[in-house]
């Protein structure tokens, strides 16, 4: 019956994510004036199919509501469902043969995914759909895109526009960090201009549900309260006076304030299953006199755990399962107090550096490095260990500390390297539910674009570790700023390569061997491109240093030329493609400004000896670069504001271009005083 190996058939259709089981059958279904019957239980699907069918294939489809309930659809002759398939809530089967197309699922979510797979198949050939048998469900239960709205705030239209695209890749949740981008009744002064109205959020949550995207709200409950504590009305609650990052856990008004936020946001998200209470990077906790008195002689961790448990219990009482950022807990693994942590919560821990199973740093254990790792590795300049907050060298740990780590680092390369899944292992050993957070818009602040490839490898590794240690949660972080007072990171519509990786790695088996194949799938499904060349260009983009030094290699002219060649072939998501072209031009200009600055620096001490003609050329470069930046900023601001708020679009383009331009002009003013 099979006329091709399943893997070959898979490659031919370039589905993303790759289905778990796909068999190619003989023949194809010829589609003419299609009539699609949808089971009555799938209430949201007819509207989605009608819209997407028209948009994708330009023709209409006749939709008929099925006489009986249930989650199914079919065109032509219906093939009966296979009774032996499992009960997974996202499972679906899709059968295409010469007589018709039939899909079955256990839930609306599964049936939506059957449609998404059919749509991707039809993009190969909408008139004659090859016969296949697909049975599919995900490896990881929750595949989450982090929607950070504290900067690069997406317009309401864009918030709606991302939903079908997330659904197409079978991403089933967003972690929504609203901060000051929602109008709260009890604290109205916090909202930024254009903040979302509650009614708009409610409509959006309902729209997300139709696309099987579960909104997980996030409210910071102690640290990262810059957006609140920077206001004079709230500054008295600062744990460290003058620093708006954290509130005091011992001040009675802090809980009253946090409870207000939790109450209002829980009401807004009523009926949803999860609530994230933040609690990362609480570096100052327990440092003010009030806290020190409250703590007596207990460690600061006791105060943190008490607060964490209070927040988790509070949301649990209202029917939400709590999520917490996992960094503080990870840093204190092995401490007996960890036993007191709330057991209902899922501790979601991040790591953006790991791109494979082994690492050269013990930072994950808050332990620094091994002296062995600081010896010059043989030809592995990129593999040098990160020398982070080195509390102790591995060699200086006590025997009992070493023996605790030893079983976790058991691999042939130890002590040169240790396993990157140690944080997950420790969570499991402590009996805590956990998830992993990778970097999609990796938090290298001020970057013009995400580090596409590092983020991809990092996400892949996170998914592998989640599967190995039976976690339900993989989250792709997409920080819009380091915190509410920091400069903005890259535009969020550049996240899709990372989102697609999260989707592919979280749904089914994907390893670093599959990257070339992934690029083909992504290029075709996301942009409608004939091949995976876009992946090469993203790779070269990353190989071009964002900060100039004398040995940096610049691939931007080549990338721009190739993007120009591909542009007429783009069929879908043209805005994301245009953004990619724009940020390449921006990076080119930023490099020019940096170069002009470098050149003036190079001759700085010998300025009087530089020939006048040479100086005139340098001055001309400065002027033309400044003019080019002024003109591109306008264009960039307009392009950015197609999907994010105009004031954020301006701020983002300023963030990306002003620094080097201003430094260049400052230096030029000093070196060319006659100007
Ligand atoms: Zn305090």
Calculate how far, in angstroms, residue 113's C-alpha sits from the geometric centre of ligand 1.
49
Q: Which own/partner contact pairs does 612-620 have at CB distance under 8 Å and 24+ positions apart?
A: 615/672, 619/668, 619/672, 619/675
From start to end of 422-564, where are the E strands? 433-441, 473-478
Residues 213/167, Cβ–Cβ less than 8 Å: yes
pLDDT tens for each residue of 324-341 = 999 999 988 889 999 999
**In angstroms, what is the span from residue 94 Cα to ligand 1's centroid?**
58
pTM score of the predicted model:
0.95
Q: What is the pLDDT of residue 396?
A: 83
By percentage, how much of the chain surpasses pLDDT 70?
94
CA distance 292 to 299: 10
Q: What is the dihedral of CA 567, 547, 443, 174, to 10 degrees?
A: -10
Classify residue 659 as exposed, middle or buried by CB count within 10 Å of its CB (0-12, 13-18, 19+).
middle
Give distance in angstroms: CA of 482 to centre of ligand 1.
23
pLDDT digits (tens, 9 = 90+) for 308-326: 999 999 999 999 999 999 9
Task: Please give the distance, rounded to the nearest whole angstrom, from the Cα atom of residue 292 to the centre of ligand 1.
Answer: 7
Distance between Cα 232 and ligand 1 center (Å): 18
- 565 token code pair: 């060649």
Per-residue pLDDT at 59: 86
Task: Give the span between the Cα atoms of 493 and 504, in whole angstroms.
Answer: 18
Q: Which residues of the chain have pLDDT under 70?
A: 1-11, 362-368, 376-391, 443-444, 549-551, 674-675
Q: Would you state the pLDDT for residue 383?
A: 57
pLDDT computed for residue 392 by the predictor:
74
Q: Is 549 exposed, middle or buried (0-12, 13-18, 19+ CB in 10 A)?
A: exposed
Q: What are the start-end ranges of the E strands in 137-204?
A: 142-148, 173-177
Instruction: For residue 303, report the distance from its CA to the centre of ligand 1, in Å.
Output: 10
Cα 237 to middle of ligand 1, angstroms: 8
User: What are 672's two structure tokens?
Assistant: 């060319």
End-to-end CA distance of the chain: 80
pLDDT for the residue numbered 185: 97
Task: Tell me, in angstroms, the distance from the centre of ligand 1 to residue 289's CA.
Answer: 7
> H helices then E strands: how many in the chain?
20, 19
Residue-level pLDDT at 390 = 57
**Residue 3 confidence (pLDDT):** 40
Residue 294 Cα to ligand 1 middle (Å): 9
């Amino acid at each position: 019956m099979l006329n091709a190996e399943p893997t070959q058939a898979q490659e031919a259709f370039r589905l993303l994510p790759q289905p778990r089981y796909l068999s190619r059958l003989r023949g194809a279904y010829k589609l003419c004036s299609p009539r699609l019957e949808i089971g009555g239980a799938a209430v949201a699907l007819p509207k989605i199919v009608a819209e997407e069918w028209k948009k994708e294939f330009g023709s209409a489809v006749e939709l008929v509501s099925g006489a009986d309930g249930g989650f199914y659809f079919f065109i032509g002759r219906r093939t009966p469902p296979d009774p032996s398939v499992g009960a997974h809530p996202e499972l679906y089967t899709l059968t295409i043969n010469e007589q018709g197309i039939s899909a079955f699922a256990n839930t609306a979510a599964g049936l939506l995914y059957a449609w998404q797979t059919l749509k991707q198949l039809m993009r190969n050939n909408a008139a004659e759909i090859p016969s296949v048998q697909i049975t599919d469900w995900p490896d990881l239960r929750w595949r989450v895109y982090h929607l950070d709205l504290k900067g690069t705030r997406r317009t309401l239209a864009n918030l709606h526009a991302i939903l079908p695209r997330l659904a197409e890749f079978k991403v089933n949740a967003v972690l929504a960090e609203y901060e000051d981008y929602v109008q709260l009744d009890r604290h109205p002064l916090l909202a930024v201009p254009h903040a979302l109205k509650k009614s708009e959020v409610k409509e959006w949550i309902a729209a997300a549900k139709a696309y099987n995207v579960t909104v997980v709200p996030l409210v910071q409950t102690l640290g990262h309260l810059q957006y609140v504590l920077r206001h004079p009305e709230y500054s008295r609650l600062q744990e460290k006076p003058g620093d708006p990052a954290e509130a005091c856990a011992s001040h009675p008004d802090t809980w009253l304030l946090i409870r207000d936020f939790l109450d209002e946001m829980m009401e807004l998200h009523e009926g949803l299953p999860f609530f994230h209470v933040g609690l990362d990077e609480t570096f100052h906790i327990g440092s003010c006199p009030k806290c020190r008195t409250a703590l007596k002689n207990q460690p600061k961790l006791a105060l943190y755990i008490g607060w964490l448990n209070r927040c988790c219990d509070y949301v649990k009482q209202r029917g939400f399962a709590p999520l917490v950022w996992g960094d503080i807990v990870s840093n204190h693994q092995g401490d007996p107090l960890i036993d007191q942590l709330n057991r209902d919560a899922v501790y979601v821990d991040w790591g953006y550096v790991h791109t494979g199973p082994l690492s050269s740093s013990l930072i994950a254990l808050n332990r620094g490095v091994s002296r062995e790792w600081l010896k010059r590795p043989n030809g592995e300049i990129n593999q040098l260990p990160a020398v982070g907050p080195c509390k102790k060298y591995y060699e200086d740990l006590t025997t009992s500390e070493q023996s605790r780590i030893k079983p976790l680092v058991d691999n042939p390369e130890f002590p040169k390297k240790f396993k990157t899944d140690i944080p997950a292992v420790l969570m499991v050993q402590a009996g805590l539910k956990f998830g992993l957070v990778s970097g999609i818009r990796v938090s290298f602040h001020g970057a013009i674009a995400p580090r596409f490839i590092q983020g991809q490898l990092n996400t892949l590794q996170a998914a592998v570790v989640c599967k190995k240690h039976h976690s339900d949660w993989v989250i792709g972080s997409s920080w819009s700023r380091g915190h509410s007072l920091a400069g903005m990171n890259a535009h969020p519509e550049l996240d899709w390569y990372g989102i697609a990786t999260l989707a592919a790695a979280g749904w089914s088996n994907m390893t670093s061997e599959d990257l070339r194949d992934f690029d083909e799938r992504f290029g075709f499904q996301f942009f409608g491109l004939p091949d995976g060349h876009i992946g090469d260009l993203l790779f070269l983009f990353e190989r071009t240093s964002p900060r100039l030094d004398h040995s940096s290699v610049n691939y931007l002219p080549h990338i721009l030329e190739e993007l120009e060649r591909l542009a007429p072939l783009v069929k879908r998501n043209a805005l994301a493609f245009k953004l990619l072209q724009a940020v390449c031009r921006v990076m080119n200009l930023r490099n020019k400004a940096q170069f002009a600055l470098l050149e003036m620096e190079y001759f700085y001490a010998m300025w009087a000896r530089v020939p006048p003609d040479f100086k005139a050329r340098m001055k001309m470069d400065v002027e033309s670069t400044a003019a080019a930046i002024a003109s591109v900023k306008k264009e960039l601001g307009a392009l950015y504001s197609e999907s994010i708020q105009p004031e954020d679009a301006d701020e983002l383009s300023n963030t990306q271009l002003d620094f080097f331009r201003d430094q260049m002009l400052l230096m030029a003013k000093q070196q060319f005083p006659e100007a």
